[in-house]
A = this chain, B = another copy of it.
Amino acid sequence: MARYDTISFLSDYGRADEFVGVVHSVLRSLAPHAHVVDVNHDIPPHDVRAGALCLARAAQYLCPGVVLAVVDPGVGTARRAVAIEVGDGQSVLVGPDNGLLAPAVAMVGGAGRCVSLTDTEYQLPAPGATFAGRDVFAPAAAHLASGVDLAELGEAVDAVSLLPGVLPVTHEEDGELQCEVLWIDRYGNAQLNVDPDEIEGWGRRVQVAWDGGSRTATLVAAYGDLAPGEIGLVTDSYGLLAVSIPRSSAAFMLGLDTGLQVKLRRLDDDVAGGVVTPVELGRRS
């Protein structure tokens, strides 16, 4: 009967409360055969965009099975709770229909069958409507893992009606590449929404500018190619360019934050080969 043996679980529940532990308990009581992998529970509270980006980064590495994702500022409102099949049913994503799942769904080939989780038979009785992870989403994930067909969980939903995720795209303007900081990781690397191919042929030095400062960065393959303290544009572990300073936090040193608009400028060969002075590094309030 069991259909999926892995449930990958992401949320903004944090660790200070028992939310994550209670969801694990519910999953285990309803699907004792399934193994739960905690992807990340420290998404900033209610930050759907951060959760969506995190899930998209992780998606290609997750085991086939059920993905349970809960960042749900609209809990208790009319927002839909959904389950979305991908890869011809190889996996199912379960969560709120608020854009959280959309980038990951897109990355693995788009949505197949979808349902709205309306059948309360597959839910826990809820003393209050504020903990849908425990009462709605976790039971749905566990029942799917145990072999209940998606269609039994609620009304069919047209995939085109799902809320899309908004992933920022780059564009060129006046010869500059307009981009954005997607993510600051634990080590202070600032991931940009830029594929290295987009600046192919620009040479080894690139100017990185933002509201409040600009610096010249060195384009390298790995941290090891940078001198201590040197600002680098490094292809990160997800294949995107990140502003990095070896053994230091680029985000802290330069005042970069998630969502910041950034411009990449091609430097003349003269400048690129000569002395480069960092300019205009402003304070960040």
B-contacting residues of A (Cβ < 8 Å)? Answer: 5-6, 8, 10, 12-22, 24-26, 28-29, 32, 35, 37-42, 45-46, 54, 57-58, 61-63, 73-78, 126-131, 134-135, 185-187, 189, 221-225, 234-239, 242, 247
A58 touches B18 (CB 8 A): yes
On whether A75 and B223 interact (CB within 8 A), knowing A127-B239, A186-B19, the answer reads: yes
A222 touches B186 (CB 8 A): no
Which of A13, A24, A40, A237 has the most C-beta atoms of chain B within 10 angstroms of its own C-beta? A237
A contact face: mostly helix, strand, loop, or mixed: loop
A130 touches B37 (CB 8 A): no
Bound CA–CA A252/B19 (angstroms):
20
- 28 examples of A-B residue contacts, CB within 8 angstroms: A13-B186, A15-B40, A15-B42, A16-B42, A16-B186, A17-B54, A17-B185, A18-B40, A19-B185, A19-B186, A20-B38, A20-B40, A21-B38, A21-B40, A22-B58, A22-B61, A25-B61, A25-B62, A25-B63, A76-B223, A77-B224, A128-B234, A128-B235, A128-B239, A130-B189, A130-B236, A130-B242, A134-B237
Bound CA–CA A46/B188 (angstroms):
12
B77 touches A222 (CB 8 A): yes
B17 touches A78 (CB 8 A): no
From residue A77, how far is it (CB to closest CB) to chain B in Å?
3
From residue A163, how far is it (CB to closest CB) to chain B in Å?
16
B45 touches A186 (CB 8 A): yes
A21 touches B8 (CB 8 A): yes
Bound CA–CA A84/B216 (angstroms):
41
Q: Which residue of B lies closest to A23 (CB)?
A: B61
Contacts of A37 in B (CB 8 A): 21, 24-25, 28
Bound CA–CA A104/B77 (angstroms):
32
Bound CA–CA A24/B41 (angstroms):
14
On whether A247 and B46 interact (CB within 8 A), knowing A24-B37, A63-B25, A223-B130, the answer reads: yes
B54 touches A237 (CB 8 A): no
Q: Which residue of B lies closest to A138 (CB)?
A: B61
